[in-house]
Amino acid sequence: MLFKVEMTVNIPSSLPKEQVEEVKAKEKAYSQRLQREGKWPHIWRVVGQYANVSIFDVADNQELHEILTALPLYPWMEISVQPLCAHPSSIYTEQTSSK
């Protein structure tokens, strides 16, 4: 199943810089592993914000929930999820999930 996920990160300024850097490093490693596995095929930065728009390609709602709640930055995120399906007017056949 394909999902559009919008994430906005709001790290509290009271968090020690060393802890923030450690969490960000863990987040990067985790997200890149998911990208290599094909579960997070697209990620775009939202200009001027600590936010992204991503496409996830996972088996179901439960798998997406487990992935998102395991994000190291999850405690400081606002997340919006929308399930996706192929558009009938699209000229691309690759829009459907391979899962």
- Report the predicted TM-score, pTM, of the whole model to 2 decimal places: 0.89
Q: What is the pLDDT of residue 60?
A: 97
- Structural domain including 54 reads 2-84
For the chain, 99 residues long, the average pLDDT of each consecutive 10-residue run is 98 97 98 98 98 98 98 98 93 65
92 part of a folded domain: no
Count of the separate structural domains present in the chain: 1
Q: What is the pLDDT of residue 95?
A: 58
* 32: CATH: 3.30.70.1060
Q: What is the pLDDT of residue 96?
A: 56
Q: How far apart (Å, rounded) are the C-alpha atoms in residues 13 and 29?
A: 23
Residues 90/2, Cβ–Cβ less than 8 Å: no
16 part of a folded domain: yes
70 part of a folded domain: yes
Residues 95/87, Cβ–Cβ less than 8 Å: yes
